[in-house]
Amino acid sequence: MVSCNTTNPLLQESTLPYGAPQFDKIRSEHYMPAFKKGIEEAKAEIDAIVANTDAPSFENTIEAMERSGRTLNRVSSIFFNVLEADSDEQMQQIAEEVSPLLTEFEMYVSLNEPLFAKVKAVWEQRESLGLEKDQSRLLEKTYKSFARGGANLEGEDRQKYAALSEQLSLATLKFGRNVLAATNAFKLNITDEAQLAGLPQFVIDLGKQTAEEAGQQGWTYDLSYPSYGPFMRFCDDRELRRQMYIAYNSRGIGGESDNTSLVKEIVSLRLQIANLLGYESYADYALEERMLKTPAQVNGFLEQLLDASLPKAKQEVQAIRDYAAEHGFEGELQSWDFSYWSEKLKSERYAVSDAELKPYFSLDDCISAVFGLATRLYGLTFELREDIPAYHEDVRVYDVKDESGRHMALFYVDFFPRASKRNGAWMTEFRGQSIVDGVEYRPFVSLVTNFSKPTAGDPSLLTPDELETFLHEFGHSLHGMLAEGRYESLCGTNVSRDFVELPSQIMENWAYEPEFLQGFAKHYKTGETIPTSLIDKIAASRNYNAAYFQVRQLNFGILDMAWHGQSTMTSESTLDFEKGVLSRMAVLPPVEGTAISTSITHLFSGGYAAGYYSYKWSEVLEADAFSLFKEKGIFSREVAASFRENILSKGGSEDEAEMYRKFRGHDPEVSALLRKLGI
């Protein structure tokens, strides 16, 4: 066990450029001592605020709290981000061990009566303090975090809140671990080459590489998206597609990684916490701090989109049924058939497929293009820093600077799947932006994806969807990189849940703009620039099955609100409850033994509980916002400067609705999204 501060790299001042994390020195055994030391320091800092005999002020209470816990924040940011991207059994054990300690510390702060009394004293004199906008925002958020965190509870209720919070923390951690285990547990190994029929060469190569890494013969496919997605779209063998579909969509149902009872436990714990705090449902509690502030507003928004989308989604599915029948398919079209026949119809209708497009999108060219877009819009440059270590050999580190040469951020990018990394793509930070005692600390931003690795003969090649994902997470990254503020808790992506996706989703639009694509998309073998005819087809195919995919997203959002909008806990089983909620939205036959709830980490181990609708709300925001770029030019520095000033740099230092109006000149309109999708 490491205990000496001088030898623990998590407790040392980093000697690396910009104070970067010393990943070359950090080992698993360093985390627990660092956590314990960080908690000890943070408690002492809180105690000092409480013990201060001066009258409570913004500086000695609110600002002092904001500045406290720097060691703990640093250790937590490094540990939990690495846990998601490069986990192992030891890291997972540490997470379980430290979770109750962190929950106990959170309770130490949030249920600290003398501390809350000081915060409340400052809050009550807020009108006379002459605070600046970001200071007022920090005071408001600090006060509300106490009130929403149980500070007004007394006696047994306070103890009950602490116990429920600890149980919830452990339950959500277990849910995520179960999903990762279930995802990694399934592998489809093929030894008969005939069963590879329909698979493009890049999918075959991936299967060969995965098999070799697993010490298997033949070709192996798993449930990571770069493997699962293409397999479902291209494999001719319907039975193999069925096996893959069932495996993917039954994760967390039964077996050692069962999440069925855990879903209800998590929902029940959240409901009990909300009730203790005086809210009718967890959704009422969660939405209070969002742009859409009530369950009625969110449900109305989701139903408005569903009413507009469901009839067209059914038409789109029927078109695929008809197409499949015309091409010899017999029987009822099932969920494991949809992607396969949809891909064939898309290929025929637009004469373009991912297999045809991928050679034009080598990862290295996409990196240059995406970084280059940030240069054109915001004047940023990206310098590869091989002297700054990362947490895994696949990770690249870039030094981001603006036009004046000012250092803006360190940018860690981690593109490839591995067993130690969870599925999906995300942006996070090892350190956020802040200014402390006149010293500016620029952020350490991380972008993580699961793109296909290079093979023996080919570089890593992206599909247009993966380029869109890259741009999406890069938008989040820009939100972090371009932060300008004093208080870390108000900087970067620290905004309301239903606003945070605006900077990411607006970036996706460039993936369909000919002027952008022609600047970099070249065939990796021939060097040929992507033909205009292909770009036209990419653009034309953008809204292919748009209503179907919108309904699919609405399934997640409506299911989320059904779980978290309950005022009385359902007695139904997890699978029956979900079935009852989603049956009216079904566009394909239900599949027994499958579910969304048991593996959707966003809702049950991430931060999107009663917030999944925010993806759609953000699409409304970005559709309206991007129309200004279309009007002024997609590389308009004028529009980009306004977006940077009013959205990206501000973080959560101002009201989000006000920030949006400053940029766009009006409130967002749902019709903007429906027009964009052609619905």
What does the pLDDT look like over 585-634, one tens digit per residue? Answer: 999 999 999 999 999 999 999 889 999 998 899 899 999 999 999 999 99
Cα-Cα-Cα-Cα dihedral sign, residues 30, 36, 38, 40: negative
Cα 220 to chain centroid, rounded? 28
Flag whether pLDDT at 4 surpasses 70. no
Structural domain contains residue 406:
yes
Q: Is a pLDDT exceeding 90 seen at residue 568?
A: yes
- Mean pLDDT for the stretch of residues 555-572: 97
What percentage of the chain reaches a pLDDT higher than 90?
86
The two tokens of residue 289 are 């701090």
**Positions marked active-site:** 473
Residue 195 in domain: yes
Report the alpha-carbon distance of residue 380 to residue 374 in Å, rounded: 6
Distance from C-alpha of 414 to C-alpha of 408, rounded to nearest angstrom: 19
Q: What pairing do the DSSP bridges indicate for beta strands 381-384 and 219-222?
A: unpaired
User: Does a structural domain hold residue 288?
Assistant: no
- Both 541 and 423 in one domain: the answer is yes
Last residue of a domain, one of 148, 168, 201: 148
What pLDDT band is residue 536 in, cutting at 50, 70 and 90? confident
User: Is it the case that residue 285 has pLDDT exceeding 90?
Assistant: yes
Q: Which of 197, 132, 83 is nearest to 140 (CA)?
A: 132
Q: What is the CATH number of the domain that holds 70?
A: 1.20.1050.40
In whole numbers, what is the pLDDT of the chain averaged over residues?
Answer: 94
Predicted confidence band of residue 354 (pLDDT cuts 50, 70, 90)? confident
In a domain, 489, yes or no: yes
Q: Look at residue 2 and tell me whether its pLDDT is greater than 70.
A: no
CATH of the domain at 619: 1.10.1370.40
Note whether residue 298 is domain-resident. Answer: no
Q: If 0-12 CB within 10 Å is exposed, 13-18 middle and 19+ buried, where does residue 151 land?
A: buried
Q: Is residue 541 domain-shared with residue 626, that is, in the same domain?
A: yes
**Does 391 share its domain with 502?**
yes
Cα(596)–Cα(615) distance, rounded to whole angstroms? 17
- On whether residue 529 sits in a domain, the answer given is yes
Report if residue 597 sits inside a domain. no
Is the same domain home to 220 and 118?
Answer: no
pLDDT value of position 152: 86
Looking at the fold, whether 507 and 637 belong to one and the same domain comes out as yes
- Given 123, 148, 173, the domain boundary residue is 148
- For residue range 12-51, what is the model confidence (pLDDT) as tens digits? 999 999 999 999 999 999 999 999 999 999 999 999 999 9
Question: Do the Cβ atoms of 648 and 528 come closer than 8 Å?
Answer: no
**65-113, pLDDT tens digit by residue?**
999 999 999 999 999 999 999 999 999 999 999 999 998 999 899 889 9
Instruction: Specify the number of domains making up the chain.
Output: 3
463-506 tens-digit pLDDT: 998 999 999 999 999 999 999 999 999 999 999 888 998 999 99
The answer to whether residues 191 and 138 belong to one domain is: no
Do residues 629 and 639 make contact, with C-beta atoms less than 8 angstroms apart? yes
Query: Same structural domain for residues 541 and 493?
Result: yes
Percent of the chain topping pLDDT 70: 99
pLDDT given for residue 136 in this prediction: 97
Q: Within this chain, do residues 521 and 474 fall inside the same structural domain, yes or no?
A: yes
C-alpha 622/C-alpha 619 separation (Å) is 5
User: For residue 414, what is the enclosing H or E element?
Assistant: strand 407-414
Q: What is the pLDDT of residue 606?
A: 84
CA–CA separation, 455 vs 226, rounded Å?
13
Asked if pLDDT for residue 212 goes beyond 50, the answer is yes
Q: What is the pLDDT of residue 6?
A: 66
Assessment of whether the complete model's pTM goes beyond 0.85: no
Give kind and range of the element (H or E) at residue 373.
helix 363-378
Identify the pLDDT of residue 3: 46
SS3 of 523-581: CCCCCCECCHHHHHHHHHHCCCCHHHHHHHHHHHHHHHHHHHCCCCCCCCCHHHHHHHH
Q: Which pairing describes strands 219-222 and 187-190: parallel, antiparallel, or unpaired?
A: antiparallel
562 belongs to a structural domain: no
- What range does the domain containing 28 cover? 17-110+112-148
Assess whether 61 and 128 both reside in one domain: yes
Query: 3-state DSSP helix/strand/coil percent for the chain, to nearest 5?
Result: 60, 5, 35
In single-letter form, the type of residue at position 165 comes to S
Residues 518 and 442 occupy one common structural domain:
yes
pLDDT of residue 296: 97
**pLDDT of 242 higher than 80:** yes
Among residues 249, 269, 287, the one where a domain terminates is 249
What's the token pair of residue 601?
């980490």
pLDDT at res. 5: 60
Q: What is the pLDDT of residue 1?
A: 42
Same domain, 121 and 22: yes
The answer to whether the CB of 71 falls within 8 A of the CB of 42 is: yes
One domain, residues 144 and 195: no
